Amino acid sequence: MKHEDELLAKWLSGEVTDEQVIQAEGVESLEGLKRLVTAMDNWSMPAYNAAKSLKEFKANRQPRSSKIRKINWRAVGVVAASAAILIVAWFAFFKTNDIILTAEHGETQNFVFSDGSKVWLNDGSQIVYNGKDWISQRSIKLTGEALFEVTKGSPFVVTTHLGSVTVLGTQFNARAWGDNLHVECYEGRVRVNIDSQETILTANESVRSAGGTLLTKQDFTHASPSWQNATSRFYSEKLITVCEELERQFDIKIKLKDADRVFTGTFNHSDLDAALNNICKPLELTYKISTDKKSVVIE
């Protein structure tokens, strides 16, 4: 008979009749089944209060609005817990309306601005923006790396210590670590400035800088920054840059001899050992991870 190992399930859902079960297994079998199903018919789980649980959930999470919330203080030297922490604070140094968003080590952070623009912060990165006047003056100071999706409106300017990116309705990734600025445009148009140098990028174009000089722009094909898929990608970058990213992602310290070796490739953020292997093997280097998994030596 067909469906021998689904017969009783099909009986339970009404697809197969009582008679068919009697034929296959006998009357007693059917009666036993009916008894058990009838008994369970009025079994239930205790009532669940979804509204209350949702409230608890929100109370435990840091909210995403730009209003001021509680400030988390951590003792110096304490390693960040695996939960991302959104720190919102007022600094007397900046105008009182500046708001700071930070992504901790090993975490990324997302935020939606009041105009619908979005930012995704890669770990170890931070933005400072004008909370009060956002709609009319969309300016952001970026430290590190972030992906932006910008709605049409007033000019949206992202400044980094290496250069600035000005946008009008688009999606781009800006990476400014050390002295390498790397901007990828996913949609729309973006203007990148370093001092008097300027380049305009359209979709699938990217540009990098080295030592204060904006290099020739290049095309790329990937649809989103690799760090969004928990991978870091490098094109002919110095090993020291690669290791700095490793240190940020895994929250470790690396001791490196040949800082200037050049690496092209990727590593995934989920496994330190695999990541180190991916990087060291092609360069014929060896690595050693300490027993507490906090430091690595590469040579």
- Please give the residues from 123 up to 182 whose contact with another protein meets the rule CB under 8 A: none
For residue 194, the one-letter residue type is I
Q: What are 247's two structure tokens?
A: 């240190």
Span from 94-102, 114-122, 132-140, 287-295 in contact with another protein (CB under 8 A): 114-122
- Residue 223 binds another protein, judged by CB under 8 A: no
9/287 Cα distance (integer angstroms): 55
238/261 Cα distance (integer angstroms): 6
Contacts of 26 (CB under 8 A, 6+ apart): none
**Interface pick for another protein out of 57, 70, 71, 211 (rule CB under 8 A):** 57
Residue 208: strand, helix, or coil = strand
26-45 mask for another protein (x: CB under 8 A)?
--xx-xxx-xxxxxxxxxxx
- Residue 84 binds another protein, judged by CB under 8 A: yes
Our CB check for another protein shows the closer of 48 and 73 to be 48
**Interface pick for another protein out of 112, 200, 259, 274 (rule CB under 8 A):** 112
275/243 Cα distance (integer angstroms): 11
- Residue 8 binds another protein, judged by CB under 8 A: yes
- Residue 105 binds another protein, judged by CB under 8 A: no
- Residue 89 binds another protein, judged by CB under 8 A: no
**Interface pick for another protein out of 1, 2, 19, 46 (rule CB under 8 A):** 46
For residue 106, the one-letter residue type is G
For residue 261, the one-letter residue type is R
Cβ-defined contacts of 165-171 (< 8 Å, 24+): 165/190, 165/191, 165/192, 165/193, 166/190, 166/191, 166/193, 167/191, 171/147
Least distance (Å) from another protein to the CB of residue 138? 17
Q: What are 267's two structure tokens?
A: 């590593």
- Please give the residues from 258 up to 277 whose contact with another protein meets the rule CB under 8 A: none
Our CB check for another protein shows the closer of 59 and 78 to be 59
Least distance (Å) from another protein to the CB of residue 147? 9
- Residue 13 binds another protein, judged by CB under 8 A: yes
Nearest to 171 by CA among 207, 214, 223: 223
* End-to-end CA gap in the chain: 66
Span from 47-55, 175-183, 194-202, 281-289 in contact with another protein (CB under 8 A): 47-55
**Interface pick for another protein out of 120, 148, 177, 250 (rule CB under 8 A):** 120
Our CB check for another protein shows the closer of 136 and 229 to be 229
Q: What are 221's two structure tokens?
A: 């094909």
Our CB check for another protein shows the closer of 31 and 133 to be 31
Least distance (Å) from another protein to the CB of residue 18? 14
Q: What is the dihedral of CA 267, 270, 274, 275, to 10 degrees?
A: 30
Contact 158, 182 (CB under 8 A): no
**Interface pick for another protein out of 22, 64, 197, 262 (rule CB under 8 A):** 64
Please list the residues that pair with 139 across neighbouring strands. Answer: 157
Which residues of this protein are in contact with another protein, per CB under 8 A?
A: 5-10, 12-13, 28-29, 31-33, 35-46, 48, 50-51, 53-54, 56-57, 60-61, 64, 83-84, 107-108, 110, 112, 116, 118, 120, 228
